[in-house]
Structure 1
Amino acid sequence: MTATPSRRAGGRAARKASRAAPLSDAMRPIRPGMEGGRYRPLTDTDMTNIHNSVLDALEQIGLADAPQSGVDYLTGAGAIQGDDGRIRFPRALIEDTIAKANREITLFGRDPKRDMNLAGAKVHYGTAGAAVHLVDIEGKNYRHCTLQDLHDAARISDVLDNIHFVQRPMVCRDITDNYEMDLNTLYGCTAGTTKHVGTSFTDPSYVKGALEMLHLIAGGEDKWRERPFVSNSNCFVVPPMKFATESCQVMEECIKGGMPILLLSAGMAGATTPSTIAGGIVQATAECMAGLVYVNAVKPGHTAIFGTWPFGLDLRTGAMTGASAEQALLSSGCAQMHKYYGLPGGAVGGIADAKLPDMQAGWEMMCSNVMAGLSGLNMVYEAAGMHASLLGFCLESLILGDDLIGHAMRCVRGIEVTEETMAVDQIRQVCIGGPGHYLGTDQTLARMESDYVYPALGNRMSPKEWDENGKPDLIANAIARKEQILSNRSAARFDPMVDAEIRRRFNIHLPA
């Protein structure tokens, strides 16, 4: 006689099948753009005082070294050039710029499902930086980065759920011509991911070629301008309080070409910004505010990200430290100022000073990633893969960072307090005539996927199970995951005819 499955077993099988199916976005425990902002290291009075100091710095000190085109744009908007050549910003001009600036922007991906809405305290994590070395994790050494390494990083990022955008994390040191390096950087990133890409240009004349390539990829200039999926990461200032002449000219060309701008102020505490955390926030905010006036003077309402990136410094040695508690506070305080103004912004998080993905790297990356997310930072740059205070990038660490950011995002999501989640009825059912535990209850099974984040590579086995499974090693598993991803063709690769036309017009160094 054939046994009939019990109703209980059938229900369990159905639940197991349901859990195996992909979750809808609404049911996922974490997803891009969750609301942070619960962590506030600055009081309301602190933020008002910082704002007033920013106004004083811009009105009384101003910025030097603007290109003539910038002088014309800025003075035309109401800034004043003094006899010393510095551009000063009246309070009324700053307040008017803040009032007119975008409160919400969308950074597009080539795939519309990967668009990012930047508003309020919505949080996104991604790569960034300009590492000159790749970390060879097996040999435990550093070597020069190549275009292939950059392309591999984009391909890996493309399949990691918790990496929401790809700003160029490495410099292609195998390409010596700057124009070819910039164009191949653009190609390597966009051919590797359909997520939003950020990149830089070393000369204003290079922007024309970049836009030509982007028009080909998008299917025409009109389609590019409708959905620009690449932004310009622009170090428009040389702290303290000086414009970077050539970068400003690059910025002008990118604005004219419809490319979003990351206004990036990257001073170092005690060297190119004041050593105090508050002073670093004041200067970075003032510099980015000057940049926002500049962008809107070129094209009112143009998409711009308020990129306050002050970095920490080890004052004993003068070495940069991107992984200190002070760095976490700098980025969190900057995030609060973005919210104070209602401006979409970004700062750094997740950098390790550690040279390899070890325990030191883990605590360093988690500290600033969690604090940046909790503060409601819209764009957390350099959140995964970056070592040695931005000198080295590690592909395996990028993969491990996806797990780490998943936990950071769960912290960002916070605690939902409702009648259902407080669970008094469930407690009653379990304790009065029930099993005396919550294992296997409908409520537990129903929420195990929507409330809890599970690591992809992190190991939660018991010591006995770990031993029986051959003592799996975290780094070895990350290497295997890297090799598995890179064994498949890029899902973001271009249509063959488009790719052939790009290669006909530009010297692309990646093999077809």
Structure 2
Amino acid sequence: MTRGAMGGRAGGRAERVAKRLAAPEVNPCAPGQVGGFYKPLSEPEIVTIYETALRLLAELGMGEVPEVLERRFLSAGARKAGVRILFPREMVERCIGLAAKTFTFHGRDPARSIEVGGDRVHFGTGGAAVQTLDLDTGRYRPSTLRDLYDFTRLQDTLTNVSWFTRCCVATDVADSFDLDVNTVFALLKGTTKPVATSFTLAEHVAPILRMVDIALGHEGAFLGTPFLKAHISPVISPMRFGEDAVLVTLACMEHGLPLSCITAAQSGATAPATLAGFLAQSLAETLGSLMMVNVFKPGYPMVFSNWPLVIDLRTGAFAGGGGEISVLNAASAQISNWLGLPSGVASSMTDAKAIDAQYGVEKALSSLAAGLAGGNLIYESSGMTASLLGASFEAFVLDNEMHAMIYRALRGIEVTPDTLGFDAICEAVLGEGHFLGGAHTLAAMQRDYFYPSLADRDAPITWTEKGQPDAWMRAKAAAREVLATHHPAYLDPAAEARIRAEYNILLDA
């Protein structure tokens, strides 16, 4: 072989290596993949559960209905029986027909907006962890406002977390109004993704939306691109309304906030221990929230957030991980999608306290089940540990990688003349006898494969030489790198100064 030939081969190899190392031009596992392939319930079973839910609403109805809501229900076709309000089938199905089927959940950055509904799957966050797994000590401690802001800016860098709901409660902020204000302020300052929060009282909504408009630059700006969603539980299991939450819901609707109306019954405690009975009651309760919204504003953007939760019947403790909660949330997503409603379910609520094998098994099982079932918005799926009592920086970066793998599984396999590779097979067999470095392989490498940054694929000897790092160590280093370098400036300095002058902002960042 001549030097020129050798030089040509070397140059070609260098070009191939460069292509292999280049970032994919198209994300092979982008958020918003299509779900709905896993169907834990048959069509007749869904119908049976639905019919039971309608019967519960018609014959048992809802209790403790606030007067403002009772009047609207009665004028829309409900009837009163003693202290309970009963809902005829026709009224329930009319509200289902009026309800929003899809809507845009805006980001302050329009490129980060997502479409909610249909068959698209998005992983995000939720939770109200009162403890944070400390990056330095590896022990749990009370969550702070600084933690919330740090979680916000950490997830801001994570592609596969589609929206951010405050994942922890700032336990160092005692006043409820200051807590609600500072929570939203941390979201405004730390990310431009779609975000969500909760409100302790209805009277907190208006001043906080005023703060949001200040951040956006003028009064009424929020209504143009409502990027802040409210998480509310207006129904308390079993089968009754909570007046404070109802009033918060109505206040949020007055100000144009999209809603996630969350039903969070617990098996064997506030709902039947049987999975089918649980699904029937929980569906009836979430339909109660749907009717509440649509008798006031038909078609108002609401996520049908039917979250089945499980307790360990031996102890009464909440169990965030396991097969039961996985199949229940998958079934909930299936039922909501069958109704044509934007579905919200919960997953990745591991009971593990450490970033260990239990953590990985429980998170992957429940997240994959919810994704395959087609949950539109999958809450709690990033960063949560310890049965929702804890949040972890390391968990956020590990879960982001897990979401990518699930999106890749949802994407499936594209079968086309090009991907079948007939010509490539012939070329390899008649040529060099392998597919390494071929054009067909390089194209597939960029298009079809996800390459993790945290999962370890080294040989044992290489892993040993690197100090035998485990997933927790690698995730800790990745989280620290982001927190040390990512300091977003999403608030205009003048707007921030005005907010700090008018509100008791406690975040020193």
Same fold (TM over 0.5): yes
Contact 2:421 2:440 in 1 (8 A): no
Q: Deviation at 1:468?
A: 2.7
Secondary structure of 2:424's counterpart equals helix
For 2:20 and 2:291, the matched residues in 1 are separated by: 50
Counterpart of 2:451 (choices 444, 449, 454) is: 454
Q: Deviations over 1:124-152 (max 9, x none)?
A: 00111011111125534211100000111
Contact 1:277 1:329 in 2 (8 A): no
Q: How does 1:192-207 map to 2 (within 5 A)?
A: 192-207=190-205
User: What's 2:55 paired with?
Assistant: 56
Call closer, same or farther: CA 1:117–1:435 in 2, change over 3 Å: same
Q: Which runs of 5+ in 1 are unaligned?
A: none
User: What's 1:234 paired with?
Assistant: 232
Higher mean displacement: 133-142 or 405-414: 133-142
Secondary structure of 1:307's counterpart equals strand
Contact 1:284 1:310 in 2 (8 A): yes
* Match status 1:362 vs 2:363: no
Q: Deviation at 1:421?
A: 2.5
Counterpart of 1:392 (choices 390, 400, 416) is: 390
Counterpart of 1:220 (choices 204, 218, 221) is: 218
For 1:36 and 1:11, the matched residues in 2 are separated by: 41
Higher mean displacement: 333-342 or 448-457: 448-457
User: What's 2:418 paired with?
Assistant: 420
* Match status 1:381 vs 2:372: no
Q: Deviation at 1:435?
A: 2.5
Q: Deviation at 1:447?
A: 1.0
Q: Deviation at 1:283?
A: 1.7
User: What's 2:105 paired with?
Assistant: 107
User: What's 1:175 paired with?
Assistant: 173
User: What's 1:36 paired with?
Assistant: 35
TM-score calculated relative to the size of structure 2 = 0.96
Q: Deviation at 1:354?
A: 0.6
Secondary structure of 2:237's counterpart equals coil
Task: For 2:156, give the aligned amino acid.
Answer: D
Q: Deviation at 1:15?
A: 4.6
For 1:240 and 1:315, the matched residues in 2 are separated by: 18
Task: For 1:273, give the aligned amino acid.
Answer: A
User: What's 1:484 paired with?
Assistant: 481
Contact 1:190 1:492 in 2 (8 A): no
Percent of aligned positions that are identical = 38
Q: Deviations over 1:87-141 (max 9, x none)?
A: 2211111111111222211101111111011122100001110111111255342
User: What's 1:141 paired with?
Assistant: 139
Higher mean displacement: 107-116 or 74-83: 74-83
Higher mean displacement: 51-60 or 217-226: 217-226
For 1:207 and 1:41, the matched residues in 2 are separated by: 39
Task: For 2:380, give the aligned amino acid.
Answer: E
Q: Deviation at 1:76?
A: 2.5
TM-score calculated relative to the size of structure 1 = 0.95
User: What's 1:329 paired with?
Assistant: 327
Q: Deviations over 1:389-447 (max 9, x none)?
A: 1111111111111111111111111222223323333333323x232222222111111
Task: For 1:250, give the aligned amino acid.
Answer: V
Q: How does 1:9-88 map to 2 (within 5 A)?
A: 9-18=10-19, 20-24=21-25, 27-83=26-82, 85-88=83-86
Task: For 1:469, give the aligned amino acid.
Answer: K
Higher mean displacement: 98-107 or 249-258: 98-107
Call closer, same or farther: CA 1:65–1:425 in 2, change over 3 Å: same
Q: Give the superposed CA RMSD.
A: 1.8
Contact 1:76 1:297 in 2 (8 A): no
For 2:98 and 2:65, the matched residues in 1 are separated by: 23
Task: For 2:468, give the aligned amino acid.
Answer: K
Contact 1:154 1:189 in 2 (8 A): yes
Q: Which runs of 5+ in 2 are unaligned?
A: none
Call closer, same or farther: CA 1:11–1:86 in 2, change over 3 Å: farther
Call closer, same or farther: CA 1:2–1:121 in 2, change over 3 Å: same
Contact 1:198 1:230 in 2 (8 A): yes
Q: Deviation at 1:215?
A: 1.1
Task: For 1:169, give the aligned amino acid.
Answer: C
Counterpart of 1:469 (choices 440, 461, 466) is: 466
